[in-house]
Amino acid sequence: MGKYDDGDVLILAIETSCDETAASVVRNGRKVLSNVIYTQIALHTRYGGVVPEIASRKHIEKINQVIEEALDQADVSLSDVTAVAVTCGPGLVGALLVGVAEAKAISFAAGLPLVGVHHISGHISANYIEYPELEPPFVCLVASGGHSHLVVVKDYGVYEIIGRTRDDAAGEAFDKVARAIGLGYPGGPKIDSISKEGNPDAVPFPRAKVGESEYDFSFSGLKSAVLNYLNSCQMKGEDYSQADVAASFQKAVVDVLVEHSLHAVKEFGYDRFAIAGGVASNSALREAFERECRKRKIAFYCPSPLLCTDNAAMIGAAGYYQYIRGACSSYDLNAEPNMKL
């Protein structure tokens, strides 16, 4: 008998949609046997953001090593693996293509099924890893560098988008404001940590309402308000406090995300709420949701910060549920930079 039960499904998952080269082995969608992430952040920092061409080249350089490490750490070989899952969109096209080509090659060479996974489906599925008892349906806020979606998770891999951003994603706003106040890239984690020393009520930034749609978000007005505030300080020759601006901006984002999300949970009649995506690792956001969900008797789920930012384990979890319902891909699987959920 092998190391794993015949009934066990082992997914080798690959994620290269942006600036992390990641591979993971996940058992039965919930148990992470390895989760290897090579982050390119240091390479892109000097440019103030991700440079797509550099990202793709680095993925090519690192991908084999990262996959080998994932198999080694899980103590399995390709013959133990059931299927290969890979992020096929959305993301940077050149970066996605590296993962997709690699997954196809492994799938073909080892005779394993190929499963193309939507990156956001992956982010949402990080919750299944953190909470082995969690099952759909529930409401999930996905807030990342490219997306801010409020989603009803009706079943595994079955999503209804009930709200989205009309302009910038939440993470994008964090990154732009961080750059404006001189914190640099990556903005989210830097604003998160400096905010701990600032006063969140120092500057009354606006909480945006979006017309008739109560579940949509807009962050570009807030970003402009921050830029205007910085400009007016400069014109008056006044200094501003980085920590106060960061904390006040962060509070404005958190207030809007919490209010819209929990309003949706109530209106749609659910009692379970999860968060996902890079911004979900924000400490103030997690605390606010924890507090407000407790008050409103909503069960709150938030993956550990490492599972919120980009990783391949989440792709392994989403890939597992696709695999068991037969949603596998053929070899014409392509990278889809603007793939819809």
Question: Is 310 one of the binding residues for Zn ion (CB under 5 A)?
Answer: yes
Q: Which is nearer to ligand KG4, 153 or 279 (CB)?
A: 279
The entry of Zn ion, ligand KG4, none that residue 281 binds, CB within 5 to 8 Å by partner kind: ligand KG4
Q: Which is nearer to ligand KG4, 203 or 280 (CB)?
A: 280
Q: Minimum distance from CB of 294 to Zn ion (Å)?
A: 27
Burial class (CB in 10 A: 0-12, 13-18, 19+), 3: exposed
Q: Which is nearer to ligand KG4, 106 or 175 (CB)?
A: 175
Q: Minimum distance from CB of 60 to ligand KG4 (Å)?
A: 20
Q: Minimum distance from CB of 335 to ligand KG4 (Å)?
A: 15
Query: Residue 280's closest CA among 151, 136, 142?
Result: 142
CA distance 335 to 341: 14
Q: Minimum distance from CB of 308 to ligand KG4 (Å)?
A: 7
CA distance 26 to 32: 5
The entry of Zn ion, ligand KG4, none that residue 35 binds, CB within 5 to 8 Å by partner kind: none
Distances in whole angstroms, Cα of residue 239 to Cα of each of 30, 206, 250, 255, 296: 50, 21, 20, 26, 41
Q: Which is nearer to ligand KG4, 230 or 284 (CB)?
A: 284
| Sign for the pseudo-dihedral over CA of 105, 110, 112, 117 | negative
User: Segment contacting Zn ion (CB under 5 A): 72-80, 235-243, 305-313, 330-338?
Assistant: 305-313
Q: Minimum distance from CB of 309 to ligand KG4 (Å)?
A: 4
Residue listed under structure tokens 């039965």: 28
Fill in the per-residue mask, 49 to 88: x = in contact with Zn ion (CB under 5 A), - = not in contact.
----------------------------------------
Question: Is 21 one of the binding residues for Zn ion (CB under 5 A)?
Answer: no
The entry of ligand KG4, Zn ion, none that residue 189 binds, CB within 5 to 8 Å by partner kind: ligand KG4
Report yes or no: 329 and 100 within 8 Å, Cβ to Cβ: no
Name the site residues for ligand KG4 (rule: CB under 6 A).
18, 144-146, 171, 174-175, 186-189, 192, 277-279, 281-282, 309-310
The entry of Zn ion, ligand KG4, none that residue 205 binds, CB within 5 to 8 Å by partner kind: none
Q: Minimum distance from CB of 1 to ligand KG4 (Å)?
A: 39
Report yes or no: 82 and 28 within 8 Å, Cβ to Cβ: no
Residue 169 backbone phi and psi in degrees, to 5? -80, 160
Residue 278 backbone phi and psi in degrees, to 5? -55, -40
Burial pattern 140-156, b for ≥16 Cβ within 10 A else e, equals bbbbbbbbbbbbbbeeb
Q: Minimum distance from CB of 20 to ligand KG4 (Å)?
A: 7
Question: Is 144 one of the binding residues for Zn ion (CB under 5 A)?
Answer: yes
CB atoms within 10 A of CB 295: 9
CA distance 29 to 8: 10
Q: Which is nearer to ligand KG4, 175 or 244 (CB)?
A: 175
Give the binding site for Zn ion (CB under 5 A): 144, 310
